[in-house]
Amino acid sequence: MRMRKKWWAVPTLVDSNKAYFWPEENKGKWKVFFENDNPIHLDIGCGSGDYCISLARKNPNRNFILWDKEAGVLVYALEKLEKYNLNNALIIPREIDHIDCIFNEDEISSITIHFPNPWPKNRQNNRRLTYPTRLLKYKKILKPDGVIDFRTDDDELYFDTLNYISEVNGVILENSEDTPPTEPISHYELRFRKKGVNIKYIKFKF
């Protein structure tokens, strides 16, 4: 069943002081924006934000940016940010292709990409969040020692991503076709695990 579009989602995000639709003005100045020199973690495809917001609550000395193109799910992330009054987290509701217009080189300390759309059709593969052209953009904004934490329930996406990382000369630090659960655990990971689905995991850098 198709999810009903939440027409009120965009106005709700615009009216908040946690969502930024025009973040390009902060390129190279995110530490000034956060008013500290703390590391910045980027959660790409954050959905309703459970995982990243849990990290933000446990790590007040890190800054967190929740990125997703779907305003209809980001409003739930916004509710949590406001509920917990988190000053170290914010939302960017944008397409990922603009990412290199929003962050400077070496501005991001770490990235998570958890349970993205696998886009299984060959003609759709270039829309994957781990496609080589996108990995190269992440490489540009990520610090030299920064790591990316990738997780999926999809076998094909997992093995293709291993190849994508190799194509851009990335370095795989850890990978598993059946990784154990960790804390915090996202809504999607918990749901898949309850169904007995193996969670595939790759930790890598450039």
Distances (CA, A) of 53 to 18, 78, 117, 157, 205: 13, 10, 21, 26, 23
Region 35-60 average pLDDT: 96
Chain mean position to CA 37:
21
Using pLDDT thresholds of 50, 70 and 90, give the confidence band for residue 5: low
Residue whose C-alpha is closest to residue 141's, from 71, 200, 206: 206
pLDDT of residue 2: 44
Region 167-179 average pLDDT: 97
pLDDT of residue 71: 86
Using pLDDT thresholds of 50, 70 and 90, give the confidence band for residue 106: very high
Using pLDDT thresholds of 50, 70 and 90, give the confidence band for residue 154: very high
Higher-scoring residue by pLDDT: 11, 60: 60
Instruction: Quickly count: other Cβ atoms within 10 Å of residue 33's Cβ.
Output: 14
Fill in the amino acid letter for 94: R
Distances (CA, A) of 103 to 70, 120, 141, 157: 20, 29, 6, 26
- On whether the CB atoms of residues 77 and 53 are closer than 8 A, the answer is yes
Using pLDDT thresholds of 50, 70 and 90, give the confidence band for residue 186: confident
Region 46-65 average pLDDT: 96
- Over residues 109-149, the pLDDT tens digits come to 999 999 999 999 999 999 999 999 999 999 999 999 999 99
Region 88-98 average pLDDT: 93
pLDDT of residue 164: 98
Q: What is the mean pLDDT of the chain?
A: 93
pLDDT of residue 7: 72
Give all strands of the β-sheet with 200-205 in edge-to-edge order: 89-92, 63-67, 40-44, 108-114, 142-152, 200-205, 171-176
pLDDT at 4 > cutoff 70: no
- Over residues 175-184, the pLDDT tens digits come to 999 999 888 9
Structure pTM?
0.93
